[in-house]
Chains A and B, each alone.
Chain A
Amino acid sequence: MNQELHESQFASRIRHVLDQGTSNLDQKAVARLYQFRQDALCRQAAPVAVLSLAGIGHLATESLHSHYRGILAFLALVIGAMGVQFWQNARQATELAEIDSALLADEVSPNAYTDQGFIEWLNHLSQQEEGSEESLPQ
């Protein structure tokens, strides 16, 4: 530490002397440096808009304590479970929609299935078919 301080103090004195050297440059060099500066300014690149949200990535990686990380993991689990539930409901709705579509596309109107006479006729028809199957020779 002490050595660094000595180095720094010595370097500071060297710096002071070197600064004197820059103020004594010959006028030819000074004029050329001025011309270089003007040339460089003529070619300055157009500014590009820069806006950054500092600390977002930092927040996600370093600044969160383990306590908050646990809560974050629990919230992620809950959101995941809700997502699975939503997906299953959507699948059931799709299946029901497919059944409804099949019924609507059938020759028999869906209203017929609510008619008691039609239901009895269907039962009677199915019993007849069963009876005829039993009477057939083996």
Chain B
Amino acid sequence: MVHDPPFSIRIFFLASRPQLSDFLASVERRAYKQALFAVRDEDTALDIVQDTMLKLSEKYGGRPAEELPLLFQRILQNTIRDFYRRQKVRSMWTTLLSSFSSGDDDDSDPLETLPTDSTSRFGNPHGSLEQSQVLAIIEKEVEKLPARQREAFLLRYWEDMDIAETALAMGCSEGSVKTHCSRATHTLAAVLKAKGVEL
């Protein structure tokens, strides 16, 4: 563990408008995809990204630039969860579906799990697949992951956060992050192998 040296003065460089602009430009597409994986509706996903950007800018726009990635991801994940909660209130179907979730999470979201369908919809699993088809398959399988596993996997490996940062963004323990990431990775590997996809 790295400690700050005693009596050192740490100066935070606050996010300027160009810095915030660059940051948002660098994360907005991945954020949109993350939201799309979670809610499976383009307009809703865009709304979530818009809300996230506005909240970050209005409430934390004056924070140091180095804090923006974690704040943004935390707001994004909370906004996605808010969508789940609203959907739950509106839809009895969703409530019933969530009650059959696998319960593999120690701090599980009640609406997080959807069953994984291992049936290929992309033709012959042993044939060679075009790049766009591989992308479509992987995105679909990421979309099918249980929400907490998908969240941990994308934050850890796509947003390049370390385990501690991922745990902070998800509001769970580091052990849970490791478990979610491991399960997500194994699920994806198994499904892609079954479909004949080689990376």
Residues of A whose CB lies within 8 Å of any CB of B are 3, 7-8, 10-18, 20-25, 29-30, 32-33, 36-37, 39-41, 43-56, 58-59, 62-63
A22-B33, A39-B54, A47-B15 as given contacts; A56 in contact with B7, CB under 8 Å = yes
- Judging by beta carbons under 8 Å apart, are A51 and B11 in contact? yes
- A53 and B11 alpha carbons, distance in the complex (Å): 9
- Judging by beta carbons under 8 Å apart, are A20 and B3 in contact? no
- Judging by beta carbons under 8 Å apart, are B185 and A11 in contact? yes
Question: B1-56: which have CB < 8 Å to A?
Answer: 3-12, 14-17, 20-21, 24-25, 28-30, 32-33, 42, 46, 49-50, 53-54, 56
Nearest chain A residue, comparing its CB with the CB of B55: A40
- Judging by beta carbons under 8 Å apart, are A36 and B199 in contact? no
- Judging by beta carbons under 8 Å apart, are B14 and A59 in contact? no
- Judging by beta carbons under 8 Å apart, are B57 and A41 in contact? yes
Stretch at the interface among B76-84, B111-119, B132-140: B132-140
- Judging by beta carbons under 8 Å apart, are B28 and A58 in contact? no
Q: How far is the CB of B186 from chain A (nearest CB, A)?
A: 8
Q: Does more than half of chain B's interface fall in helix, strand or loop, or is it mixed?
A: helix
Q: What residues of A have a CB within 8 angstroms of the CB of B135 in the complex?
A: 17-18, 20-21, 24
- Judging by beta carbons under 8 Å apart, are A43 and B199 in contact? no
Nearest chain A residue, comparing its CB with the CB of B178: A4
- A49 and B63 alpha carbons, distance in the complex (Å): 9
Q: How far is the CB of A44 from chain B (nearest CB, A)?
A: 4
Residues of B whose CB lies within 8 Å of any CB of A are 3-12, 14-17, 20-21, 24-25, 28-30, 32-33, 42, 46, 49-50, 53-54, 56-62, 64, 131, 134-135, 138-139, 142, 153, 156-158, 181-182, 185-186, 188-189, 199
**Besides A53-B7, A59-B6, 17 new A-B residue pairs in contact (Cβ under 8 A), listed by A number:** A7-B186, A14-B157, A18-B33, A18-B158, A21-B135, A29-B46, A33-B46, A40-B56, A41-B20, A43-B57, A44-B58, A47-B14, A50-B14, A51-B11, A53-B8, A55-B3, A56-B7
Q: What residues of B have a CB within 8 angstroms of the CB of A32 in the complex?
A: 46, 50
Q: What residues of A have a CB within 8 angstroms of the CB of B61 in the complex?
A: 43-47
Of the A-B pairs whose beta carbons lie under 8 Å apart in the complex, a sample of 24, sorted by A's number, is A10-B185, A10-B199, A11-B181, A13-B199, A14-B188, A17-B135, A17-B138, A18-B135, A20-B131, A22-B30, A22-B33, A23-B29, A29-B46, A44-B20, A47-B61, A48-B14, A50-B14, A51-B9, A52-B9, A54-B4, A54-B8, A55-B3, A55-B7, A58-B6
Q: Does more than half of chain A's interface fall in helix, strand or loop, or is it mixed?
A: helix
- A14 and B197 alpha carbons, distance in the complex (Å): 11
- A36 and B142 alpha carbons, distance in the complex (Å): 26
- A30 and B33 alpha carbons, distance in the complex (Å): 12
Q: Which of B21, B42, B59 is the one whose CB lies under 8 Å from A37?
A: B21
Q: How far is the CB of B26 from chain A (nearest CB, A)?
A: 11
